[in-house]
């Protein structure tokens, strides 16, 4: 599933085409994705101007002139294709599509006043779209239980210490809990914990103030680096322009089982363990 950096990369790719444009027409090639489209979905979008294109956790949010917000989630394999006014198509040329992927999985087509066409393609159909009143967005079913934004100003050491206080859950599980911190996924949590020098299986409530500060700092650093690099590009992910990101080449531990730990002075080896059905990569020597 695309993680926060991948979603932010997609947002940046869509922004030039969508922001400030009026939606001239919406074509739905099926009645649903993961969920049915909301009532009169195409009609409610038609004629609306996209005021801004934002992101909350792993959700894209298009603010509309009507006061509603178009909420979009990529699911596991969702991606966008942008066709410019000159007919040039930005599409995933190197995308590792599922067998059978292609035009038949083009489920939603937005035609914009500036000549751009934005097409949503989703092989597995785990993504979804919804329309929510801006005033009700934070209390909607999508966001009411979502935690703090990991790149927002609110995330710091003291907040992490408060969120994790008294928790017996493993540190990795606490960081993946979307009710606490929204948008962190398995890959980047492994990277954060390695950089912070903290063992993924230790109880979250055992960290001290200094360790909480390290976690906050590394969350910002790892996510920011990944966004600038264009995301991790694992299996079903590519940019809206079809190019692949390259942050996976900077992974220090993820998917590097058996390799020497890259921490200077550490003679450990990257190990793999399974936590809640997910692979965790870490160094037993320098993560405590």
Q: Alpha carbon of 280 to those of 168, 202, 217, 288: distances in Å?
A: 18, 13, 21, 15
Instruction: Please check whether residue 59 is in contact with residue 146, taking contact to mean a CB–CB distance below 8 angstroms.
Output: no
> What one-character DSSP code corresponds to residue 47?
T
Say what angle helices 186-196 and 209-229 make with each other, to 10 degrees.
Answer: 130
Round to whole Å and give the CA distance between 140 and 131.
10
Q: Nearest-CA neighbor of 51 among 64, 66, 68?
A: 64
Active-site residue numbers? Answer: 2-3, 58, 278
User: Phi and psi of 195, rounded to 5°?
Assistant: -65, -35
User: Phi and psi of 124, rounded to 5°?
Assistant: -90, -15
């Amino acid at each position: 599933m695309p993680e926060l950096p991948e979603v932010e990369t997609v947002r940046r790719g869509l922004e030039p085409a969508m922001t400030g444009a009026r939606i001239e027409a919406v074509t739905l090639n099926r009645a649903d994705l993961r969920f049915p489209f909301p009532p009169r979905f195409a009609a409610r979008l038609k004629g609306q101007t996209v005021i801004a294109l934002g992101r909350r956790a792993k959700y894209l949010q298009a603010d509309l002139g009507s006061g509603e917000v178009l909420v979009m989630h990529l699911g596991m394999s969702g991606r966008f294709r942008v066709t410019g006014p000159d007919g040039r198509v930005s599409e995933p040329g190197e995308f590792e599509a599922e067998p059978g992927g292609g035009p038949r999985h083009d489920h939603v087509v937005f035609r914009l006043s500036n000549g751009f066409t934005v097409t949503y393609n989703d092989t597995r159909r785990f993504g979804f779209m919804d329309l929510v009143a801006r005033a009700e967005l934070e209390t909607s079913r999508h966001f009411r239980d979502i935690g703090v934004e990991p790149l927002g100003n609110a995330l710091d050491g003291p907040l992490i210490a408060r969120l994790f206080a008294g928790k017996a859950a493993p540190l990795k599980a606490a960081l993946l809990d979307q009710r606490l911190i929204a948008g962190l996924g398995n890959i980047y949590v492994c990277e954060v914990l390695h950089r912070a020098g903290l063992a993924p299986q230790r109880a979250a409530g055992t960290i001290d103030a200094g360790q909480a500060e390290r976690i906050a700092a590394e969350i910002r650093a790892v996510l920011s680096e990944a966004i600038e690099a264009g995301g991790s590009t694992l299996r079903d992910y590519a940019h809206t322009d079809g190019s692949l990101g390259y942050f996976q080449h900077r992974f220090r531990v993820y998917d590097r089982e058996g390799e020497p730990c890259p921490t200077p002075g550490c003679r450990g080896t990257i190990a793999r363990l399974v936590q809640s059905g997910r692979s965790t990569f870490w160094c037993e020597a320098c993560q405590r």
